[in-house]
Amino acid sequence: MFVLSFLARRLLQGFVIIFLVMFLIFTLLRVVPGDPVRLMAGGMAPEALIEQIATQMGLRDPILVQFGRYAAHVVQGDFGQSFVRPADGAATGGAAFNDASRSERAEVLTLVAQTAPRTFQLALTAILMALLISLPLGVAGGLYPGRWPDRLALYLGSIFVSLPNFWLGIVLILLLSVKLAWLPAIGYQGFAWTILPAFVLAIEMAPFMIRTLTVSVAQVMQEYFIAAGPVRGLSRSRVVLRHGLKNASVPLLNLLGVQFSMLLGGVLVVEYIFDYPGLGLLTINAVLQRDFPLIQGIAIITSAAFVLINIAVDLLATTIDPRLDY
Amino acid sequence: MEAPLLGVQGLNVDLALQSGRTRPILRDISFELPAKRTLGLIGASGAGKTVLAKALVNWIEQPLHITGGTIAWRGKDLLGDRQGFGRLRGSKIAYVGGNPAGTLDPTQTVGAQIVEKLLSVQPRTSRREAIEKAVDLLAAVRIPSPSQRFHEYPYQYSGGMMQRALIVDALISDPELLVADNVTQPLDVTVAAQILKLMRELTERFATAVVFVSSSLPVVADIADELLVLHEGRIVERQATRRLVSHPIHAYTQALIGELPTIWQGHGPAERPRGQTTEPLLSVSEVSKTYKVRKRDSFAGYNHVQAVRRANFDIFKGDNFGVVGESGCGKSSLMRLLTRLEPPDTGRIVFDGQDLATCGGSALQKLRRRLQLVLQDPFSSLPPRSPIGAIIEEPLRIHGLGGAKERRRQVRDVMGEVGLDATLIDELPAGLSAGQRQRVNVARAMILEPALLIMDETLSSLDQTEQTKLLNLFERLQAQHGFTYLFISHDLAMVRRVCSRIAVMYLGEIVELAANERLFFDPGHPYTKALLSAVPTLEERRYRPEDCLLEGEPPSPIDLPPGCSFASRCPSAFDRCRSQHPGLTARSSHDLAACFLVEPPRVAARETAGA
């Protein structure tokens, strides 16, 4: 019964959060300067025409009215159409105000659905790589505090954290793609294109994971039950593997949840450098073009992902440590 | 002659200090323990008891070192064969410590971990046998519904229940030696008495030899055949238990026994005679507090924890009032209400003629000047980075009293009064002992010249010598300043010594309210009797645990059953106790108890009928 009541409560809270995000994004976007109609119609369009288009699109209604209309659509799964992007996926641009293809703007949902899986794939690969790097380093560092594994973890972590991701990305592209031609780098045509950006992200995340692991493992190893285990007759390796690591895993799990959510929200710099067609790239362009429906859509969908991931992480954490209660 | 089960010869253990020098912890420890015998090990804190207990289970870790001597198992040296020693642990030599809550992995069920241990030390046992054995033993230590409890997690066990489970964990591999290190220390007296009884039974049944370590002589004397007295790392005396108690030889043992507080010898402080017109300083009437705790397995449900239930009592000026009870009885919740850290749900707390519950803002601030609290934990109750003088001065600054110079002078005066050296005024509290820290706490509370000092377990973390000194200090301060004390404590011996009037709490309720002599010599409530029967003491007991206490632990304060809350553990409970709730009934003009067996005195019959 615990799981059901937990899910019911958390999903309800999640809806409230998503609603608030939706409201904030919506109102703030309309308060900041910059008229999307001016951008859509082009700088040369006469003022009267802009007012006419804006009124047609409902952009001159009170914000609350606009929000109500928008929310009603979102509930039905309709995130609206992009102001700017054409449905055929062609490049964006400042089309002229009398562009006849206005009705063929792309659906926000379609745009997100095209890019989100790429970002998801990138995020998952990055997390796995980061785990591969940080698990051995972090656990060894936590088991031998103050000794060389601990120092190795600390030094590597410090190096990783001070490598700027744009620099590492460019260097790796130059080295592995251009010089050695081992891995493709720009754009996306298959899984191979994910590896390099994922590695850059993994290096960026690993220091935090190493640190979290080192601290939590070292802390758990100080617990009385770890010392008492061998006295009760358990072997040391059993105490460490079955009891120590299990207890130390909850902080890492929480960190993974946060990092995964952040990756899903779009990794702007890395996607931009690798021209990786994910949510990040989509977001950058949407913001530059004042593409309100697209920005809103991305924000709402990623906040929903945040909420879901957090629920999953907390549920997983309670199965690891039954004392936890969210 | 056959070699004894355990033989320790000339054991030395040193502590390596950071300066590179070493400090001796144990010196020249030698003793033998034959099979099936129980050896008690007694000494003050810091005497090296726990180090010795750990040495017996190969648990000497950095920065401790064994620097000499032998530990032999059936004549075979163990210190030269650490691997062999390691294999004996958990199988032939079992250990139960004083940290029941922390001994098992919190993320796995108790049953699974006991089975894991048995399978580790006896790999040939099948899992099914192991589970059966564990459940059987859990039943043998009287854990209710053991096959269900088997699948519960450590946090779902109470302290006493966990200690039972750990005794199962220790004895499941049929060890020949059990090292019990301070096993009853974290437990309440009634629960500790049950655990002791259980250990006696089980070790007898399984023919286990026991090394029983404790800092409480009455507890050890209760269980051991023979006693070792440890003082500053050396064994100063070894005698059969009864002989040691009646004829201690070494001066340290004599002092130890002389220092033990007594309960039924001598007299406790009597209540001050007071005229009819005296107003109480603090009057508590019908005070209740219920906490809402979210229910774990529900969508939006709450559990109602009834922490304090309809408390009624008066404290008069110059009195020492005691509130006693075991953990979870609501003592500390009551303290939070009396100090107005929280308002009560219902009822009135009138202090100095003003109702604390409705008091707020500056009026409350003024009242607080006259009502101060001294806390239990000497370590976490002082800010580590403030000088001692500033800590003591702070209340004056909060209440805006005096100028800087004047305040400094007052701080010096108060420090002198509580026996703190004036040179400490600009020191940080880091170097202070527990006793000195409590003096700082007392100084901080009394610098405002309060009328009432609430002592919440103030002395429970101190050893006997230090307790005595502080109690003398309290007495002197009371004589000089006319303080009124409210002692909240679980220590009956301390309460017997200092309190003139005592309230006994059980599950949030005051079940008995009586003058000192009456409470200890003629208690009116069966729970008071049970408490008295379980106090560790060397004296002839007036009440025996066998007669006064049933097995089991207090029920949960959530969803209390109707009727008397003690009915489930009371040997004299009858049908009415389970359906009807007994209110406090007068036994004489001043003494009350909440039990149907109380017979109101004829003279006061009318008074009772009205209540």
Per-residue pLDDT of B161-200, as tens digits, reads: 899 999 999 999 999 999 999 898 888 888 888 889 899 9
Distance CA B163, CA B553 (A): 13
Closest residue of chain B to A243, computed from CA coordinates = B105
Backbone angles phi, psi at A241, to 5 degrees: -70, -45
Of A27-31, B26-30, B81-85, least confident by mean pLDDT is A27-31
Query: What residue ranges do the domains of chain A occupy?
Result: 2-108, 111-320
What's the pLDDT score for residue A99? 53
What percentage of chain B reaches a pLDDT higher than 90? 53
pLDDT at res. A266: 67
Same domain, B254 and B295: no
Asked if the Cβ–Cβ distance from A2 to B104 is below 8 Å, we say no
Same domain, B96 and B215: yes
Nearest to A9 among B97, B173, B299 (CB): B299
A319 touches chain B (CB under 8 A): no
Q: Which among A228, A233, A323 has CB closest to B120? A: A233
Beta bridge partners of A242: none
CB contact set of B21 (below 8 Å; sequence gap of 6+):
none
- Dihedral-angle region of residue B306 (phi above 0 means left; psi in -120 to 50 means alpha; beta otherwise): beta
Q: Is B112 on the interface with A (CB under 8 A)?
A: no
| B117 to chain A, closest Cα gap in Å | 6
Give mean pLDDT, residues B115-140: 94
B235 shares a domain with B296: no
Q: Which of B58, B107, B121 sits opposite A322 (nearest CB)?
A: B107
In a domain, B426, yes or no: no
One domain, residues B218 and B168? yes
What is the Cα–Cα distance from A223 to A243, expressed in whole angstroms? 11
pLDDT grade for B275, boundaries at 50, 70 and 90: low
Q: How many residues does chain A have?
A: 326
Q: What pLDDT does A32 receive?
A: 76
Report A:245-284 residues touching B (Cβ under 8 A).
246-247
Is A233 an 8 Å CB contact of chain B?
A: yes
Question: Are residue B112 and residue B175 in the same domain, yes or no?
Answer: yes
A320·B89 Cβ contact <8 A: no
The confidence band for B228, taking pLDDT boundaries of 50, 70 and 90, is: very high
User: What does pLDDT average to over chain A?
Assistant: 87
H/E/C letters for each residue in B510-523?
EEEEEEHHHHHHCC
pLDDT of residue A94: 46
One domain for residues B318 and B196:
no
Chain B CA closest to residue A323: B155
Contact B106 A321 (CB under 8 A): yes
Question: Contact B104/A223, CB-based, under 8 Å?
Answer: no
Confidence of residue A93 (pLDDT cuts 50, 70, 90): very low
CB contact under 8 A, B153 and A322: yes
State whether B144 and B244 are in the same domain: yes
Residue B609 banded pLDDT, cuts 50, 70, 90: very low
**Residue A307 confidence (pLDDT):** 92
At B605 the pLDDT is 44
- ipTM for the predicted complex comes to 0.81
**Closest CA in chain A for residue B156:** A323
Q: What Cα–Cα distance (Å) separates residue B553 from each residue in A312, B307, B534, B586, B602?
A: 38, 17, 14, 28, 36
The more confidently predicted of residues B602 and A196 is A196
The boundaries of the domain holding residue B126 are 6-258
Q: Which of B103, B109, B122, B151 to mutate to test the interface with A (most CBs of A within 10 A)?
A: B103
B116 touches chain A (CB under 8 A): yes
Q: Which is more confidently placed, A198 or B466?
A: A198
- Per-residue pLDDT for A97 more than 80? no
Three-state SS for A296?
Answer: helix
Does residue B454 carry a pLDDT above 90?
yes
Q: What is the pTM of this model?
A: 0.83
Residues B214 and B314 in one domain: no
Residue B334 CA to residue B312 CA, distance in Å, equals: 11
Confidence of residue A88 (pLDDT cuts 50, 70, 90): low
The mean per-residue pLDDT over the stretch B419-425 comes to: 90
Which pLDDT tens digit goes with each residue over A256-268?
999 998 888 768 8
User: What is the mean predicted confidence (pLDDT) over B440-451?
Assistant: 92
The beta strands (E) that lie in B474-556 are given as: 484-489, 501-506, 509-515
Q: Is A111-320 a domain of CATH 1.10.3720.10?
A: yes
The runs of H, that is alpha helices, within B330-399 are: 331-338, 361-369, 388-398
Q: Which of B59, B153, B173 sits opposite A231 (nearest CB)?
A: B59
pLDDT range class, residue A79, cuts 50, 70, 90 = confident
For residue B313, pLDDT over 90 is answered with: yes
Report how far residue B485's alpha carbon sits from residue B503's, in angstroms, rounded to the nearest whole number: 14
Q: Domain boundary residue among B258, B273, B303? A: B258
pLDDT computed for residue B46 by the predictor: 78
Reported as a single tens digit per residue, the pLDDT across A169-215 is 999 999 998 899 888 888 888 898 999 999 999 999 999 999 999 99
B246 lies in the same domain as B309: no
Mean pLDDT (chain B) is 89
**CATH number assigned to the domain comprising residue B513:** 3.40.50.300
Same domain? B205 vs B297:
no
pLDDT value of residue A86 = 75
Query: A228 and B298 in contact by Cβ < 8 A?
Result: no
**Per-residue pLDDT tens for A118-171?**
999 999 999 999 999 999 999 999 999 989 999 999 999 999 999 998 899 999
The reply to whether B54 falls in a domain is yes
A101 or A282, which is more confident? A282
Say yes or no: A8 contacts chain B, CB-CB below 8 A: yes
With CB atoms and an 8 Å threshold, state whether B298 touches A243.
no
Give the number of domains in chain B. 2
